[in-house]
Amino acid sequence: MSAALLYIEDDQEIGSFVSTHLKEQGYEVNWVTSGERALEAAAGCRLVILDVMLPGLDGFTVGQRLKKAEPDIPILMLSARTSIDDKLQGLQFADDYLTKPFHPDELTARIEVLLRRSGNRSSAEPLAIKHLLVYEQQNRVENGETGEEITLTGKQFHIFSYLLRHLGQILTKEQIYEAVWGEPYIEGDKTLQVHIRYLREKLERDPAAPEIVETVRGIGYRVRK
Amino acid sequence: MRKAGTREGGIRFRQTLLSRYLLIILFAFMFIPVIFPLTSIGYMVMQKNANPQSDYLKYGNAASLEAMWHKEASLLSEAQPERIDGRLRELKQAYPEASVFWVDASGATRLQMPEQDRLPAQWTQADAIRFMKASVGGDPYTVVAFIGQASGAETGFMVMQMPRSVIEIQNPIGVDTPYYIAFIFVMFVFFIALSLLFFRHIRRRLLRLQAAMAVHGDDGLPMPVVQTKPDEIGQLEQSFNRMVEQLKAGKERERAEEELRKRLIANLSHDLRTPLTVMNSHVYSLRKEALSEAGQAAVKQIEQKIAGTGSLIDNLLSYTLMTSGRYPLKLERQDMLRLIRESAADWYPLWEQEGIEADIGLPDESVYWRIDKEGFRRVLDNLFQNVVRHAKGGRYIGISVEAHGDRQILSVCDRGAGMNADSGGKGAGIGLAIVGYLLSEMGLAWHTESADSGTKVLIYPK
């Protein structure tokens, strides 16, 4: 699947390698070497990969301006600085953060996650998870084996789609609760567990041995492909 | 303070607090020698203007009235009663306020103007004495004069009675003394109030200055004050403002240095890591070539070393920043279980990939510690990373929080070969140094137990 990526990197060697690597993965890559040009090139792209250390305008400034101009385009920061203070500053506007030296496979994995999370995949192609087909655009979940539609309540769908947006990632009960209910998690609240139990009853083949919404003991929940 | 400093502001003597204080003192000194006489003079002048003495006693005083009456009486004679009557009528006209009558030698009351009931028609000697006794010192003022030149029991007498208000000053000197005292008192109160106001004003300004020194602005420095008057306190305010300026400049300089240092480290980090990234990309390209098994293994080794060097650089530079105080920790009440869960969630995929079984035993109830969120995260990251890097062989990581007495203890353990063994991935030193530094900064203690069968790190509040 092709998607236009804007890649901002001043180092020639790294830039040419990464853009070649991403093109091999099937992405359309627009590589620019300065922040000024990045701001012009941002329109119409699906994701921005931004290096922090740039000549002229630094990466933070570019990132902040990009986020202001195009708030829907996810930004992945690449940094060769110490993580200690860059991380906080970067994550104020960036959607993800990767420190150099990074593994090229890791970069592709992060890009995929970001693209899926931003919902920029315009295709109506359903997401297949085990026996389920999820049409995110239409808020519809289907049992792929029987073709039956599974009706979820608002909260159940909300929880499920939050887990889907962070596919493969483990989310703690606090993170899920705060994202779905939009208020701070109250200690000892069992609401989320109850909702997850009902969600499993609807989604899982065997709710007693869940395959879709995994429990990661002691940490939280996860949905994997 | 330098002498020149007081002149710098260029304040004139009359603007100083000292001059004003001297003025008050001068006023106090003038109180007795000036205010008292001045008040007396003022009072007297006022008295004169208010009651001109000349109009006041139209018939003169008692003595002159008495002299007049005696003179009139001596000019008359008992033998001519009609003349007496006539003269009394004239006198009555001249002194309309007076009552007059006369008594002849036989004791009979003759002409009375106006008629008085209480006078006897026929006077005895006792009557005369009683009348005289009643009249002495009383009101009206009574003058009795024998008629004619002779005097004795055989002569008649004439009497004039005049209300004392007509012949005596109603407000003699001394009646106004209370006003006089009141005036002195008012002046005294005025003086006290003046001194009080003077000192209260100074006190208020000093307190304001003191408050300004105690209140700190956003940057932790006192705010400059508005200079009020060009006197001594005004100069103090000016100096205070100058000091605030200097503090600000100092702070600014310090911040700039800090910024420079941070930038230096960031640049250093960038310069070290960029070649690593390039190496990484070449190794990645190499991996796609047809390689022998040994070649594949070598590529994997190189990749691991590059990753290790990257994190070593990060740790090293972070440690430099931290220990030079460039990474201030913000201690807040945090649910440490939540931080552990979030951190473990990030690491879990890697553990799975490396075949490390994670055994996480956290209580349901939140545990609150006063810690810095990022600092604590970094402690966990370094500990988890050490397990992945050095204790992979044990295929186990145990994370638990348990209550021991009244405190909760966090334990991170593995089943690796222990810290003394050669794990093939040296360089844990700086990572643990960061752990140690951050924990002690957050008021936490830690304890490591390492054996051949594994390592256990315990963290607990001091």
Chain segment B389-447, per-residue pLDDT in tens: 888 889 999 999 999 888 899 999 999 887 776 554 455 588 888 899 999 999 999 99
Say whether residue A38 is in contact with chain B using an 8 A CB cutoff. Answer: no
The structural domains of chain A, ordered by start, are: 4-117 (3.40.50.2300), 127-223 (1.10.10.10)
Say whether residue A220 is in contact with chain B using an 8 A CB cutoff. Answer: yes
Determine, for residues A13 and B281 on separate chains, whether the beta-carbon distance falls below 8 Å.
yes
B8 pLDDT higher than 50: no
Determine, for residues B266 and A86 on separate chains, whether the beta-carbon distance falls below 8 Å.
yes
Q: Which residues 158-217 of A have a C-beta within 8 angstroms of B?
A: 168-172, 174-175, 187-188, 216-217
**Lowest pLDDT segment from A38-52, A166-180, B8-22:** B8-22
At residue B5, the pLDDT reads 42
Q: Output A151-159 pairs: Cβ under 8 A, ≥24 positions apart.
A: A151/A202, A152/A199, A152/A202, A153/A198, A155/A180, A155/A195, A156/A195, A156/A198, A156/A199, A156/A202, A159/A192, A159/A195, A159/A196, A159/A199
Determine, for residues B345 and A169 on separate chains, whether the beta-carbon distance falls below 8 Å.
yes
Mean pLDDT of A159-177: 89
Quick one: which H or E segment has residue B332?
strand B332-335
Which of A85, A218, A220 is opposite residue B361, by nearest beta carbon? A218
Quick one: which H or E segment has residue B300?
helix B293-323
Q: Which residues fall within 8 angstroms of residue B115, CB to CB, at 6 or more apart?
A: none
At residue B7, the pLDDT reads 46
Task: Report the C-alpha gap between B329 and B327 in whole angstroms.
Answer: 6
B13 pLDDT higher than 90: no
Q: What is the DSSP letter of B421?
A: S
What would the pLDDT profile of B31-83 be if each residue is shown by its tens digit?
A: 777 777 887 787 777 767 765 554 556 777 788 888 888 888 888 877 788 88
Strand partners, B461: B444
Say whether residue A154 is in contact with chain B using an 8 A CB cutoff. Answer: no
